[in-house]
Structure 1
Amino acid sequence: MQQQLAALKRLTSVPAKTGRGRVAIFIDGANLFYAIGELGIRIDYTKFLKYLVGDDTLFRAIYYTGVEAADEKQRGFLLWMRHHGFRVVSKPVLQRPDGSKKANLDVEMAMDIVSLAGQYDTVVLVGGDGDLACALGKVSDCRARVEVVSLRSMTSEALIDVADSYVDLEEIKGKICKQDLYNGHR
């Protein structure tokens, strides 16, 4: 019952999709990387940013990612991101005993989402990690509109439950992917 009341409160106290005010975008780079791999597309980040902001005002767009020191291609990509409207938050990728790699930037994302609350009207999380639901719930309680954009198969139900709106990357891939300059294909 309390969850239903909280959901009703959010729906009645949050501005409509149009007129979303100042928009803060938080992108989980690893989640997005795996999602676009699953979809088989390459994102045009300029189009993506424009899609996420719409006709509203960009407050901040932050891209969180682990970095491999020897990866020149990644270094070039992150430099491009910095020069095209994104702040980049990174830390070194650590190799686990099982051979997998992880950077774990969830705490940094959660801290930024909460600490910047009050400076933006709408928060857009591009990612699917349910660990961020608590941070999104906090800013929702402060009357921020909460939007989640991610691939459905990689998205926690907890994020969808706390969001005022959810967009599946599958549904918007045609609007955000790079066009092949030679043959017009994506």
Structure 2
Amino acid sequence: MDFPQDILNKFIVRGDYLKWIKNQTVVFVYLDLTNIFHWQDVLGWKFRVEDMIGQLLGFPNVKEIKVYYGKNERYLHNSESFHKRIKKTGAILRTKPMKFITKTIHHGMFFQRRTITLFDDGVKSKIGELIDELQKSGVAVEVPKCNFDVEMAMDMLDDTDKLTAIVLFSGDSDMRAPLERLKVKGKRVAIVGVRGRVAKELYAVKDKYIDFGKFYTGKRVYIKSENPAFGAGPHN
């Protein structure tokens, strides 16, 4: 199989990643989009969904791509516009309405636990006072939630007889059980992720791990840092 020239031209993808995909006969791809959007914080840059899907469809043996992403009914126009962009790529979209979970305001929303230990008692006291005031004010913090663990697992198992290998873009430990079922049936499994965002349970069942940052060849928009040491512009 010849690799698409645009992939070879834009970015030097690790050869073992390309070889693994090349050696599979029929590949299905499953993208947990909410999960992988969080990877951008680790990578320091944003990716384009269209570029990612286009890169994958450039491989002749990638026969189907399923994308899982919720519908935000509070911002329905924007949500539906984004869904149309996904469908236009040729991928199959799985969606359902997002739920919004109300969370209690606490220190962890503002600081990592390790960071808090660096503060002296005076600073910790001030932070505690601020948290108390926010809690008393009645301010509500709502977090969108839309898990697709069940839908992804069912699709994988339903697709078993159509494929020889899967590429899973997710780091969720809940995916271990369906992946183990696929392995029992002789299917090959590649996990795509970034450092610190892939559960150890998935490492235990994968045949191949692919670092997303060393695989993606599309446009990258670097995130501006709030740290003045990096200046006002984008940084690597």
Q: Is the TM-score greater than 0.5?
A: yes
Give aligned pairs, total: 167
2:15 corresponding residue in structure 1: none
Instruction: Name the CA distance, whole Å, in 1 between partners of 2:87 and 2:61.
Output: 18
Describe the superposition over 1:20-70 as per-residue Cα deviations: whole angstroms up to 9, x where unpaired: 111111110111111124323232334423544564422210110121012
1:45 corresponding residue in structure 2: 49
Deviation of residue 163 (structure 1)?
0.6
Identity over the aligned pairs, expressed in percent? 23
1:97 corresponding residue in structure 2: 102
- Is the Cα–Cα contact under 8 Å of residues 61 and 87 in structure 1 kept in the other structure? yes
Match of 1:85 among 67, 90, 93: 90
Tell me which amino acid in the other structure corresponds to 1:43: F
Instruction: Name the CA distance, whole Å, in 1 between partners of 2:60 and 2:24.
Output: 6
TM-score by length of 2: 0.63
- Secondary structure of the corresponding residue to residue 162 of structure 1: coil
Instruction: Name the CA distance, whole Å, in 1 between partners of 2:90 and 2:57.
Output: 12
For the aligned residue pairs, the C-alpha RMSD in angstroms reads 2.5
Describe the superposition over 1:93-130 as per-residue Cα deviations: whole angstroms up to 9, x where unpaired: 11113122211211000110111101011101001001
1:163 to 2:195 alignment: no
Structure number with larger C-alpha Rg: 2
Alpha carbons of structure 1 residues 39 and 179: separation in structure 2 relative to 1, 3 Å: closer
Instruction: Name the CA distance, whole Å, in 2 between partners of 1:39 and 1:16.
Output: 23
Alpha carbons of structure 1 residues 103 and 179: separation in structure 2 relative to 1, 3 Å: closer
Deviation of residue 144 (structure 1)?
1.2
Alpha carbons of structure 1 residues 74 and 41: separation in structure 2 relative to 1, 3 Å: farther
Task: Single out whichever of 37-46 and 151-160 deviates more from structure 2.
Answer: 37-46
1:4 corresponding residue in structure 2: none
